[in-house]
Structure 1
Amino acid sequence: MDWQISQFFGDKSSMDKACDEDIISAVAFNREGTHLCLGDKAGRLILFSEKESRKATCKQFQYFTELQSHVQDFDPLKRRNLYVLSTNDKIIKLWKMSEKVIKKVIKGSDKELSMPVLQKVEETIYPSLHKCFPSLHTSKVKAISASHNEEFLLSAEEEKDIKEAISSCCFHPNHDNVFLLSTNMGTLRLVDTRVRVTNPDLVNFGYTQGPKNFFSELIASCHDAKFFPNANYIASRDVLAVRTWDLRVAEQPVTTVPINSQVKGKLCEMYENECLWDQFSLSVNASSKMLLTGSYHSAFNIIDAEGRSNLQLDLSFSKKTTGRETLGIKAEPITDYDYKFKTLKSICHPTQDLVAVTCLNSLFFYTKKKAI
């Protein structure tokens, strides 16, 4: 197995007792990958910084600082250098993290003739509210995204009075005038702000779905969609599959990789547990060769971007890493499927073979083994 657990924050007992406000609702690296920020439903922002260690064989992180950003119902966030963009139901905030050094004057002894010197006593992180956007939305904010040049903010709200609603949004990795929208109907829309408002869509992506039934629209709903860093492809995630699309071919996806094969026959059970409304994030690594997304039963998936493999790994509070290849292999039926322990939020490191995965109130890091 190419991947192994490298670090975790949390423990099994606290995760078993996690209440709703402790559940991690967003996670993101900064552009350089030196810091990671997560947010929970209570509105707390917790920052981790890269830990310098000569002995460590892979990148390690340590607790950095935290702050109370919003009241309860915190949702997505994006990290940009030492700025944190966060939102709750309707208010979007931009926080600035500044290093504050406290010094004191040290005088020489009475017997010595010397100049007083400043000595560092303490070094802390001082969070300050840089900007607040209190009136952009009237409904619940569904997603936010920062543009490549960090001058523009894209946000989408949950509109319950219309049949088709936006489920996610993100800017193009290179062009600040282009962004991607996904909807609860399973469609993807590439939008250019330079085109007139009456018809701004560049391309609509869609695929031929199976027979219609009670669950058709629910399982077709797109949880998340992302551009590949190479900007040639996009990826989308729904209840049962991860799909990749060529920007030049909108009719059908290039690859379709099944997800959650164990629950394909348990849609009634998922409906009763309100799991068909879960929103799993999707992330693409820096080389555009790997996709990362979550699952149920304390597991997550690392998928080859060309659709050649789908490795499912199990979260663990030990150094033992367990997992299995699921692509093209009939899934073993699980009688007691655990819907509580779901890995909703996960993110790829922007420069290295490292992923961060969250489950309830715990954070896990997995790294790819180095070739010998």
Structure 2
Amino acid sequence: MSPVVSNGSGVGIITPPTLDWKFSQVFGERAAGEEVQEVDIISAIEFDKSGEHLATGDRGGRVVLFERTDGNDRAIRKDLEKLDYLGNRHPEFRYKTEFQSHEPEFDYLKSLEIEEKINKVRWCQSANGALFLLSTNDKTVKYWKVQEKKVKKICDMNIDSSDTVANGRIDSQSGPASDFVFHPGGYSSLHLPLVIGHETNLVPRCRRVYAHAHDYHINSISNNSDGETFISADDLRINLWNLEICNQSFNIVDVKPVNMEDLTEVITSAEFHPTHCNTLAYSSSKGTVRLIDMRQSALCDSHAKIFEEHDTSGSRSFFTEIIASISDIKFGKDGRHILTRDYMMLKLWDLNMESSPIATFQVHEYLRPKLCDLYENDTIFDKFECCLSGDGTRVATGSYSNLFRIFGSTEAMTLEASKNPTRRQTQAPSKPSRSFANLARSRRRGAETVNMEANGGTHDFSTKLLHLAWHPTSNVIACAAANSLYMYYAETCPQSERSIHGIMDCHGLLWMLNFSLKTLQLGY
């Protein structure tokens, strides 16, 4: 039973139990002292909506697919009944296939090299046992179909090559010419050869190529919930595509000024709403998130809502706008909340409250005194991704030294992408004052945050965990450390499984936040 935290007004609110994270799997682990090839570094990670498949893209233009194996390859129900623990096992994955998605190109008109690096991978709806996904580099989006096909083989031939060799007729022949040497005694009868299925292979096929639509580097692609369209976004424009039409797209957002000297911000990330096919959000280098409704006009220059936190402290510096630039945005599964990541922190926004985030989590606050050094070596421009758990109760993002952070209502953990994730763990004390409920209640007093120092030690800025993804239905995280894919699962800590009075029914922590805000406004 989950613990209950009081919100200070006599209302009992459930907080999720503390999780104990453990190592699950690793793919492509490096040996000690092994040098990592640039083309093998993972640059994109994505679970499909069912959680049965995982896709990664790398800087060499390859897409690698993994499939879930735990319990799925056990066909006999009696075996499942005997192994009761299978229902509680964490998801495990195995290598499925890989294919070359993009190749290096050269734009002769602009004298520009186009890298093969995969910037994003997005899963599409599967059909007839086939998998569909989108992948993109800086300029071109491709639509892939991966399907099992039987490799056919011709057998029961009239000519037996072993006989012809035995008769000495093709000692001086090789290759296809040997097929035309007949048995010296002839054949009593001729019959048609048979074509049979020899084996089953996974065959990737590029169905569509969406090219020549972006003048700048593509930073985002996102599938629409209608299953028919998707968007691709670069620094200044967002284009809307139909999956079946590759030679035409519609420009729905254009922030390019008439005079490029007047340019003040660029688009950094874009994503469709998980359930509303007419709604999408995009972030900017100024730290704002704009929500647009495509029903309002064909060109969505005006936004329906803008989420922006105004700096009331008055302390601005040269680095203020740089560290405010949002590198990634993610909608919550409920479609009610948006998670954003800038260089310093994570912010959780409610779509019904534009003035300020409902929760803020410090990630790189300890780096604030080092911003000058980070600017000189371009580290300050690193783009970290973020993700939410399927139930919306926790958020996660990456950091330096191959560390990643997980934040919950009463916990904040630092884990390392290695076989011993808790080796450098730092956990914030689980105090009711740090709960989301109290955090939401104190929004009017200021920007209350869940702070966590990163062990106070030195950090290796050459090793950074930029890409990670949370399983849609389980507490499983996949993260990329250079060329290695690490996977972790969480179990409920025994001390958090205790019975406390005053439990009320709710659907996840984010619902709890809304309830807390409403009760405060009503004065209960």
TM-score normalised by length of structure 2: 0.65
Structure 1 distance, partners of 2:123, 2:399, is 24
Contact 2:235-2:267 within 8 A present in 1 as well: yes
Matched, 1:342 2:482: no
Partners of 2:336 and 2:382 in 1: CA distance: 28
Tell whether the 8 Å contact from 2:121 to 2:136 is kept in structure 1 after alignment.
yes
Judge conservation of contact 1:145–1:153 (CA < 8 Å) in 2.
yes
Once the 2 structures are TM-superposed, how far is the Cα of residue 106 of structure 1 from its aligned partner? 8.6
Count of residue pairs brought into register by the alignment: 361
- The partner residue of 2:224 within 110, 124, 147 is 147
Given candidates 17, 35, 41, the residue that maps to 2:35 is: 17
Quote the residue 1:297 is aligned against: 401
Q: Structure 1 residues 9-18 or 124-133, which shifts more?
A: 9-18
Residue 63 of structure 1 aligns with an amino acid whose one-letter code is Y
For 2:462, what is the secondary structure of its paired residue? Answer: coil
SS of the residue corresponding to residue 323 of structure 1 reads: coil
**Can you list the C-alpha shifts for 1:148-199, whole angstroms capped at 9, x where unaligned?**
1221111111249532101000000101110010111100000110012365
Q: Aligned-pair distance for 1:357?
A: 0.6
Task: For residue 298 of structure 1, report the CA deviation from its aligned partner.
Answer: 1.2
Partner of 1:74: 118
Distance 1:320 1:241, change over 3 A: closer
Q: Where does residue 124 of structure 1 map in the other structure?
A: 201
Report matched runs for 1:301-340 at 5 Å: 301-304=405-408, 307-318=409-420, 322-326=424-428, 327-334=450-457, 336-340=458-462
Which of residues 356, 360, 368 in structure 1 aligns to 2:482? 360
Q: Which entry has the higher C-alpha Rg, 1 or 2? A: 2
In the alignment, structure 1 segments of 5+ residues that lack a partner are 108-115
Provide, for residues 97-120 of structure 1, a one-character-per-residue CA deviation record: whole Å limited to 9, x for no partner: 01112356898xxxxxxxx99976
CA distance in structure 2 between the aligned counterparts of 1:91 and 1:222, rounded to whole angstroms: 23
- Alpha-carbon deviation of 1:7? 0.6
- Give the distance between the partners of 2:101 and 2:132, measured in 1 at CA: 13
Amino acid at match of 2:352: R
* Inter-partner Cα distance in structure 1 for 2:41 and 2:138: 16
Confirm whether residue 169 of structure 1 aligns to residue 270 of structure 2: yes
| 8 A Cα contact 1:192 1:200, kept in partner | no
Q: Please give the alpha-carbon distance, in whole angstroms, between the structure 2 residues aligned to 1:343 and 1:239.
A: 13
CA deviation after TM superposition for structure 1 residue 11, in Å? 2.2
What is the CA distance between 1:79 and its match in structure 2? 1.5
Q: Bigger CA drift: 248-257 or 150-159?
A: 150-159
- Please give the alpha-carbon distance, in whole angstroms, between the structure 2 residues aligned to 1:122 and 1:22: 30
1:23-102 alignment to 2 at 5 Å? 23-52=41-70, 57-71=89-103, 72-80=116-124, 81=126, 82-102=131-151
Task: Give the distance between the partners of 1:328 and 1:218, measured in 2 at CA.
Answer: 21
Amino acid at match of 1:24: I
Contact conserved, 1:141 with 1:156, CA < 8 A, in 2? Answer: yes
SS of equivalent to 1:21: helix
Specify whether residues 332 and 32 from structure 1 end up closer, same or farther in structure 2 by C-alpha distance, changes over 3 A only: closer
Q: Could you tell me which of 263, 279, 283 is aligned with 2:387?
A: 283
Greater shift in the superposed pair: 44-53 or 89-98: 44-53
Supply the distance in 2 between the matched residues of 1:300 and 1:83 (Cα, whole angstroms): 30
After TM superposition, give the deviation of residue 318 of structure 1 in Å: 4.9
In angstroms, what is the RMSD of aligned CA positions?
A: 2.5
Q: How far 1:121 sits from its partner (Å)?
A: 3.4
Q: SS in structure 1 opposite 2:426? A: strand
2:382 and 2:283 map into 1 onto residues whose CA distance is 15
What amino acid sits opposite 1:313 in the alignment? L
Percent identity between matched residues is: 32
**What amino acid maps onto 2:132 in structure 1?**
Y
Q: Aligned AA for 2:479?
A: V
Asked if 1 retains the 8 angstrom alpha-carbon contact of 2:426 and 2:455, the reply is no
DSSP 3-state at the match of 1:4: strand
Show the counterpart of 1:134.
211
Distance 1:124 1:142, change over 3 A: same
**Which is helix-richer, 1 or 2?**
2
Q: C-alpha separation between the residues in 1 aligned to 2:92 and 2:454?
A: 34
Letter of the aligned partner of 2:462 in structure 1? K
Q: Distance in 2 between matches of 1:63 and 1:323?
A: 29
Task: Pick which of 189-198 and 320-329 moved more.
Answer: 320-329
Deviations 1:183-228 (A, max 9, x none): 1110000011001236541100000235211111110000111111
Cα displacement string for residues 23-77 of structure 1 (whole angstroms, at most 9, x for unaligned residues) = 2111101111111010011110111111245787321111111111112232111
For 2:454 and 2:488, the matched residues in 1 are separated by 24
Distance 1:301 1:329 in 2: 9
* AA at the equivalent of 1:243: K
Equivalent position SS for 2:148: strand
Q: 1:354 to 1:101 in 2, by over 3 A?
A: same
1:370, distance to aligned residue in structure 2 (A): 4.9
Query: Does structure 2 retain, via aligned residues, the 8 Å contact 1:207–1:252?
Result: yes
Residue 309 of structure 1: how far off its partner (Å): 2.6
Q: Deviations over 1:280-307 (max 9, x none)?
A: 1111121111112111111001122xx5
- Counterparts in 2 of 1:329 and 1:171: CA distance versus 1, 3 Å: closer
* CA displacement 1:293-334 (0-9 Å, x = unmatched): 111111001122xx5332111111358765222444555432
CA distance in 1 between counterparts of 2:410 and 2:474 reads 21
Find out whether 1:239 has 2:343 as its counterpart: yes
Between 1 and 2, higher relative CO (CA 8 Å, sep ≥ 6) is seen in: 2
Query: Structure 2: which amino acid aligns with 1:176?
Result: C
In the alignment, the residues of structure 2 paired with residue 308 and residue 35 of structure 1 have an alpha-carbon distance, to the nearest angstrom, of 31
Larger deviation, residues 18-27 vs 214-223: 18-27
d(CA) in 2 for partners of 1:256 and 1:4?
Answer: 26
Work out whether residues 363 and 452 of structure 2, in 8 Å CA contact, stay in contact via their aligned partners in 1.
no
Corresponding residue for residue 305 of structure 2: 203
Question: Which runs of no fewer than 5 residues in structure 2 stay unpaired?
Answer: 1-18, 75-82, 104-115, 157-192, 237-255, 429-449, 495-524
Contact 2:477–2:489 (CA<8 Å) still a contact in 1?
yes
* C-alpha distance in 2 between matches for 1:308 and 1:371: 13
One-letter identity of the residue aligned with 2:278: N
TM-score (norm 1): 0.90
